[in-house]
Amino acid sequence: MAIPDEILAPPSIDLPNYGLDILYEDEHLIAFNKPCWMLSVQGRLPENQDSIAHRMELYCGVAHVVHRIDCATSGVLLFTKTKEAQREINRQFRDRETDKEYVALGYGHSVLTRGEMHLPLIKDWPNRPKQKIDLIGGKKSITQYEVLEQSNQQVRMRLIPITGRSHQLRLHMRALGLPIIGDRLYSPEHVAKASARMHLHALHLSFTHPIERTPISISAACPF
């Protein structure tokens, strides 16, 4: 199995808008199409300073975090420009009033067409940053899934995370017997090395505008 693609790197910070792909912007909110292999928020080490949050600060002087997606995942990533908007969006995420949709490409074959996965997750402390399934001590983790198409040992899935645990979609796909192509943490070596990117994309995010109270829907086209 091989999925040809180029070696991927974040866009240059010297591009217009600091290389940010802006999907939506107003005086309170801004949403980006995050490329894979770019951090949502900068880390502590010098080599982990480049991130969407850092570039947003350069672009508009502020970056209030409301959620994150994994470095290897691409797609819709939302920030706020004000503390007031941040508090309300955080509440919507906490109270599960947002709708999120992902697309993943898994390796294998599925006899199921759709369903709902209930497998609790917990930090795998000896193997950080990994998480693991723990039926006794894990936190409730729920994902709705639907097979969109499959052929040649590749299954395209629609994933709706009901909860938002770290690495939830990656572990639930593996539990379905469909490890995500390009996932270097959880997929077998031949599946992890089949692509230069992880085939998991945040396709869609819907929520209520924190100030205007109008419905907002933001999408980023799937690159695979």
For the record, the structure tokens of 143 come out as 């994902």
For the record, the structure tokens of 147 come out as 């097979």
Q: 67: Cβ–Cβ under 8 A, 6 or more apart, which residues?
A: 77, 78, 93, 164
Nearest-angstrom CA–CA distance, 62 and 71: 21
Nearest-angstrom CA–CA distance, 187 and 59: 36
Does the active-site annotation cover 70?
yes
* Residue-level length of the chain: 224
Q: 122: Cβ–Cβ under 8 A, 6 or more apart, which residues?
A: 131, 132, 133, 134, 137, 138, 139
Q: In Å, what is the CA distance from 214 to each residue of 16, 80, 197?
A: 30, 16, 35
Nearest-angstrom CA–CA distance, 98 and 37: 25
Other beta carbons less than 10 A from residue 65's beta carbon: 17
Nearest-angstrom CA–CA distance, 145 and 174: 13
- Given 26, 70, 95, 124, which residue is catalytic? 70
Q: What is the maximum alpha-carbon separation in the chain?
A: 50
* Residues that are catalytic: 70
